[in-house]
């Protein structure tokens, strides 16, 4: 069993669903530490690492500059980032749905103004997942951004602020068969669209919190570091550049 230091709420429920692998502890030393993703989460992660944490889970992180996040990358322990708008299992489903390299990828989304930069970052992540390669910024003007991969796959992104409380992202990868992703308040639907019709990937019923804890435990069991922080840095760096235009 691995000790987990987690705040009260959904993450305690997740631990209760993993009784054979976890036990709740009250100190960071030797434990998986769950960090609320409030502003200042990078500093909290560095403090937990200094206190002896074996791994970190960052819950729905607020926007932080890419340069700050790189400090946590250098800490050298496994870090799982829970991104409800970009779940790791749904991203895997989207990769599996696309059999051919896409010609172009398109994403749009909306969120309350205070969460717009986080939405921009996570929509950028979906473009990265669906294009299958790192992206570079070609041009940006306000809410519109144009990007491309080294292989010439183009991507476009439009995000807007909304007065409502909902956060949503729609993304499409266009090839011989199209891949469609829809995310609304953390519920993700992935579909493959061909001439024969629309095939929807099975729904994922595991909570985002349980998935994040389980991935952290797997990382420790297999002595590996997930790519979550590196991907978050890449998505954030592009979001930084677009927001600065």
**Predicted confidence (pLDDT) per residue in 36-88, tens digit:** 999 999 999 999 999 999 999 999 999 999 999 999 998 889 999 999 999 99
For 114-128, 161-175, 203-217, 227-241, which range has the lowest pLDDT when averaged over its residues? 161-175
Indicate if the pLDDT at residue 134 is higher than 80.
Answer: yes
Confidence band for 191, pLDDT divided at 50, 70 and 90: very high
Mean pLDDT for all residues in the chain:
94
234 contact partners, CB below 8 Å, separation of at least 6? 128, 134
Residue 240 CA to residue 245 CA, distance in Å, equals 9
Per the structure block, which two tokens stand in for 63? 């926007």
Tell me the β-bridge partners of 110: 160, 168
Cα atoms found within 13 Å of the Cα of residue 48, Cβ hemisphere only: 30
Decide if domain 88-200 falls under CATH 3.30.70.980: no
Question: What is the pLDDT, as a whole number, of residue 164?
Answer: 78
pLDDT at 16 over 80: yes
User: Quick one: pLDDT at residue 196?
Assistant: 85
Average pLDDT over residues 198-207: 92
Tokens 């978050």, residue located: 232
> Widest CA span of the chain, in angstroms?
56
- Cα–Cα distance for residue pair 228/245, rounded to 1 Å: 26
- 94 and 102 in contact (C-beta within 8 Å)? no
Name which CATH class applies to 2-85+207-226.
alpha beta
Mean pLDDT lowest among 1-5, 38-42, 156-160, 241-245? 241-245
Distances (CA, A) of 64 to 47, 101, 216: 16, 31, 21
Please calculate the CA angle 231-236-242 and round it to the nearest 5 degrees.
Answer: 135
Q: Where are the chain's structural domains?
A: 2-85+207-226, 88-200
Mean pLDDT, range 203-208, rounded to an integer: 93
**How far, in Å, CA of 133 to CA of 130, rounded?**
8
> Which neighbouring-strand residues pair with 106?
156, 172
Burial profile 61-74: b = 16 or more Cβ within 10 angstroms, e = fewer: bbbbebeebeebee
What distance in Å separates the CA atoms of residue 42 and residue 236, rounded to the nearest whole number?
14
Is 169 within 8 Å of 123 (Cβ atoms)?
A: yes
């Amino acid at each position: 069993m691995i000790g987990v230091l987690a705040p009260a709420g959904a993450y305690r429920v997740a631990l209760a669903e993993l009784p054979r692998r976890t036990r709740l502890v009250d100190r960071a030393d030797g434990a998986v530490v769950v960090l609320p993703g409030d502003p200042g989460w990078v500093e909290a992660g560095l403090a937990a690492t200094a206190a002896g944490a074996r791994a970190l889970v960052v819950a729905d992180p607020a926007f932080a500059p890419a340069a700050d996040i790189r400090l946590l990358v250098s800490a050298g322990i496994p870090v799982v980032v829970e991104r409800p708008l970009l779940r790791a299992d749904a991203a895997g489903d989207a990769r599996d749905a696309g059999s051919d390299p896409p010609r172009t990828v398109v994403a749009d989304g909306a969120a309350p103004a205070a969460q717009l930069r986080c939405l921009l970052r996570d929509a950028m992540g979906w473009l990265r997942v669906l294009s299958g390669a790192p992206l570079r910024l070609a041009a940006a003007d306000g809410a519109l951004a144009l990007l491309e991969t080294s292989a010439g796959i183009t991507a476009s992104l439009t995000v807007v602020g909304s007065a409502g409380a909902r956060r949503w992202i729609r993304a499409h990868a266009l090839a011989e068969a199209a891949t469609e992703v829809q995310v609304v308040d953390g519920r993700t639907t992935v579909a493959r669209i061909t001439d024969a019709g629309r095939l929807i990937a099975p729904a994922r019923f595991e909570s985002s919190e349980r998935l994040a804890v389980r991935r952290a435990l797997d990382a420790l069991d297999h002595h590996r570091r997930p790519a979550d922080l590196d991907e978050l840095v890449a998505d954030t760096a592009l979001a930084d550049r677009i927001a600065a235009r």
